[in-house]
Amino acid sequence: MSTKYIYDDNINGDYFVHDACIACDTCTDIAPKHFKLTTDYDHAYVCKQPKLSNELALCEEAIEACPVGAIEKQP
State the Cα–Cα distance between residues 3 and 16, nearest whole angstrom: 15
pLDDT band (50, 70, 90) for residue 2: low
Q: Mean pLDDT, to the nearest integer, of 28-44?
A: 98
**pLDDT on residue 51:** 98
Domain coordinates in residue numbering, the chain: 15-73
Q: What is the DSSP secondary-structure string of 40-52? A: TSS-EEESS---S
Residue 19 pLDDT greater than 80, yes or no = yes
Q: Mean pLDDT, to the nearest integer, of 1-22?
A: 93
Domain 15-73 has CATH 3.30.2290.10: no
Give the contacts of 24 (CB within 8 A, at least 6 positions apart): 67, 68
SS3 69: coil
**pLDDT on residue 13:** 98
**pLDDT on residue 75:** 87
